[in-house]
Amino acid sequence: MAYINVGFTYIIDYICEGILTGRFPEGERIPSVRDMAVLMQVAPNTVVHAYDKLSQRELIHTQRGVGYYITPGAFESVLAQRRKVFHEETVPQFKRDARLLGITPDELRELLEL
């Protein structure tokens, strides 16, 4: 999957989604800066910036000369952050939109059946 003209936030989202889906398990190596730059079709500096942000969040770490790895505990960290955003931002916006569009609670329940 290639992303055209993306910023570092898309790379961060790609790695975080990969952590949640198991594509990037804890302790496993992630693509090199060069490989990620080719995959995402961005400059290597963009990947370096994204990897620096992920390192600051302690989701990845580097082994000098070897590569970047997913940090133990990254799954729980990403999951907690995504749940927080879901509860505090996504759901309230969803409810506002439903009210604005005149969607009834019964229609919502039907839509949300998993």
What pLDDT tens digit does each residue of the chain (114 aa) get? 455 446 899 999 999 999 999 999 999 999 999 999 999 999 999 999 999 999 999 999 999 889 999 999 999 999 999 999 999 999 999 999 999 999 999 998 998 886
Same-domain status, 47 and 79: no
Domain extent, residue 33, equals 8-71
Do 60 and 15 meet the contact criterion of CB atoms below 8 Å apart? yes
Same-domain status, 64 and 85: no
**For residues 8 and 66, what is the distance between their CA atoms, to the nearest angstrom?**
22
Residue 2 domain-assigned (yes or no): no
Same-domain status, 62 and 81: no
* Distance from the Cα of residue 92 to its chain's centroid: 21
Q: What is the CATH number of the domain that holds 20?
A: 1.10.10.10
pTM: 0.82
Same-domain status, 25 and 58: yes
Same-domain status, 52 and 96: no
- The total domain count for the chain is 2
